[in-house]
Structure 1
Amino acid sequence: MQWASLAAVALLAQNAAGQAMLRFACSQLVVDRVDPIVNPGQIYTPHLHQIVGGNSFNISMLEDPAAHDLPAKSTCTSCSFREDLSNYWTAVMFFKARNGTYKRVPQTGNGGPQGRLLNKGGLDIYYMKSGRVTSFKPGFRMIAGNAANKVDSSVSKSNICHRCWTSTSDSPFVGGAPCSGSDTVGIPYDKKCKMIRQTIIFPHCWDGKNLDSPDHQSHVAYGQGGGATGGGACPSTHPVKLPQIMYELMWDISKFVADSSIWPTDGSNPFVYSMNLGGSAAHGDYVFGWKGDTLQKAMDNNCNLDNSCPSAGITKQSNSVYDACTVGQQAPEPVDGWLSSLPLGSLAVRGE
């Protein structure tokens, strides 16, 4: 069955139950070798990330979360909702050519039955719900996935997956719901693929106490069921049901597969993430930063897709506005063009 049909049925069911989902674009704020969750206060962290969201993002923002009020300190956001000053980041996909050089894979906005999202690099964000949910609290952060994972079978395909697109267009949109059917944990590398869609679904159950945990995951958990459903029932250890966050990224690999002179001849997968690892190491980081209670109101008032929602006080910006929200690298280094090696290496404290 076509995903368009599935989505239409799902949206009708959601509307009938008085439920909806936010789905919006975020352009790249910066591509930088920093990670304030895992490596606070440090630059040239082990691998490169692409970051989106509020422009107060910096390496020390979580050393004292109470002192870093994202909505107050950010003057713009690279996401389409003006009130969302959160930060979201993922690893970066590279193509490794036959001669051993690397090039960052470009990205494009996603389409589908809910309409096309426009972004300059970056990713698309979903906030979904099933029943009543409680918004995140200021200072909350979490990670989905494991940047060191090398084994596909150790990853739940219902939470982290990749899909091969045989066209550079996603219309008609064919396939099942995210992370279902022929989707794989590993990165596809069939030359028939023209784009790769990456999906990361975050835990939606919280212990109700801790804004973070030592591994940045133990304070949250996945509930019953799997996939992009809005989240099932939560376990007693993590009883607070949160909005289910999903990242979607569209990597445009068409120019690489079209050039046989650079495609590897040894049968290896030329597509890797910035850890120099495959799809099982895909991961996402999240720091909550919506203004006031706007996210809670958006969930309570069934605000839908990327539309302004006056009942929640959220306003959609034009893509020219959120595209223009950028910051400079805190760990300056080349990330574009053909690179002799991936940006990998040791940590350094700011100023060293």
Structure 2
Amino acid sequence: MQWNILASLLLAQHVAGQGGFNMLRFACSQLVVERTDPLVFPGKKYTPHLHQIVGGNSFNITMDPAQDPAEKSTCTSCSFVEDMSNYWTAVMFFKHKNGTFTRVPQTNNGGLVQKGGLDVYYIPQGKVTAFKKGFRMIAGSPSNTDPKAIQGKVCNRCWTNSGEGRGGGGFVGGAPCTGSDSAEIPADPKCKMIRQTVIFPHCWDGKNLDSPDHASHVSYGQFMGANGGGACPTSHPIRLPQIMYELMWNLTSFTDKSQWPTDGTRPFVYSTHSAGPSAHGDYVFGWKGNSLQTAMDARCANNADCPKGGIHFQRPEKYNGCTIPQQAPEKVDGCKC
């Protein structure tokens, strides 16, 4: 499975003295798909582009920083009971030759089970400080047009079969955002899946839980890619767990190139109206109490109960059932929203 490959790659990068390596990797099903964005457009319905949101069911169009999702949520669409955080990204559309759009479905990845949604990683490197109540941040930018600006941070990878790790050349390349991975969404009929990766900054200024651009209070560190991040700059000295999103877009219904656009436009685009560089992820912290810090200190790993860290896995039928109605009601499957 791909997560075993990633874990091996990460382990190889951790030098003696850091005491080994463990990371959380777990599934989150879709809570809702709608045009809201409480970080960039708080209080606004029908924001410029569509998002898929996962996590705690207290998600709302305002997300007042004084309101703790861990206290307000009654369920989570993620597989750890203690995690009421919210995670969201843009969605992907296929553009038909006739100019209409269809939302690309999502699928499971590497043994995790979910309905749509995404996989979340918390990757520590040595001793890390967990996020604080009220913390939020964004990785990437919906207005970005420069592929180089997100190199090693946000990327897409083509898989040539419909199931990762099951033979037929599905898994290619090394760690996320290396090798053939690209900011642009690959446009090749051989691609049966696109794996999208969003890697967040892992260094914090130690003072601000947010910033006007939702990015200046955090920074990337010594290393790019999914490796725990390395040493932090003096301006942002506090090392956080490195968060990574992993999404699997299922292209198997769209591989007939005769149905692709003939006007020079790309067949796959994100809801930001871009074929790749504007991909981004949003994060609002909402773990209960001190549970994330305890889990990181206890070196909890993967997608299972961790008694020594005090976190508990819930079955897919439980977290799959945690949904909320659209707060910006509209059809989202057959439009470029």
- TM category, shorter: over 0.9
Question: Which residue pairs with 1:39 in the alignment?
Answer: 41
Kindly report the root-mean-square deviation, in angstroms, between the aligned alpha carbons of the 2 structures. 1.8
Gaps of 5+ in 2: none
SS at match of 2:254: helix
In 1, distance between residues paired with 2:189 and 2:257?
A: 10
In 2, distance between residues paired with 1:224 and 1:291?
A: 30
In 2, distance between residues paired with 1:321 and 1:151?
A: 40
In 2, distance between residues paired with 1:5 and 1:162?
A: 18
Question: Which residue pairs with 1:28 in the alignment?
Answer: 30
1:150-299 paired onto structure 2 within 5 Å: 150-153=145-148, 155-171=149-165, 172=167, 173-257=171-255, 259-299=256-296
Could you say if the C-alpha distance between residues 143 and 9 of structure 1 is closer, same or farther in structure 2, counting changes exceeding 3 Å? closer
Is this contact kept in 2: 1:3–1:175, CA < 8 A?
no
Could you say if the C-alpha distance between residues 9 and 250 of structure 1 is closer, same or farther in structure 2, counting changes exceeding 3 Å? closer
SS at match of 2:309: coil
Question: Which residue pairs with 2:95 in the alignment?
Answer: 96
Deviation at 1:96, TM superposition (A): 0.8
Is this contact kept in 1: 2:81–2:312, CA < 8 A?
yes
In 2, distance between residues paired with 1:255 and 1:71?
A: 38
Q: Which amino acid aligns with 2:266?
A: N
In 2, distance between residues paired with 1:273 and 1:71?
A: 30
Q: Which amino acid aligns with 2:135?
A: F
Q: Which amino acid aligns with 1:143?
A: I
In 1, distance between residues paired with 2:106 and 2:332?
A: 14
Identical counterparts, % of pairs: 64
Q: Which amino acid aligns with 2:8?
A: A
Deviation at 1:307, TM superposition (A): 1.2
In 1, distance between residues paired with 2:84 and 2:4?
A: 31
Q: String of CA shifts for 1:1-58, please: whole Å, max 9, x gaps.
A: x996564364587698232000000000000100111111110111110000000000
TM-score by length of 1: 0.90
Q: How many residues align?
A: 330
Q: Which amino acid aligns with 1:98?
A: K
Is this contact kept in 1: 2:27–2:113, CA < 8 A?
yes
In 2, distance between residues paired with 1:253 and 1:161?
A: 17
> Greater CA deviation, 268-277 or 217-226?
268-277
In 2, distance between residues paired with 1:10 and 1:218?
A: 27
Deviation at 1:156, TM superposition (A): 3.0
Is this contact kept in 2: 1:3–1:177, CA < 8 A?
no
Gaps of 5+ in 1: 344-352
Is this contact kept in 2: 1:128–1:243, CA < 8 A?
yes
Q: Does 1:119 align with 2:121?
A: no
Q: Does 1:309 align with 2:306?
A: yes
1:127-142 paired onto structure 2 within 5 Å: 127-142=122-137
Could you say if the C-alpha distance between residues 26 and 5 of structure 1 is closer, same or farther in structure 2, counting changes exceeding 3 Å? closer
Is this contact kept in 1: 2:187–2:268, CA < 8 A?
yes
In 1, distance between residues paired with 2:86 and 2:119?
A: 13
In 2, distance between residues paired with 1:27 and 1:156?
A: 26
TM-score by length of 2: 0.94
Is this contact kept in 1: 2:272–2:279, CA < 8 A?
no
Q: String of CA shifts for 1:68-106, please: whole Å, max 9, x gaps.
A: 121111000000001000000000100110111111000
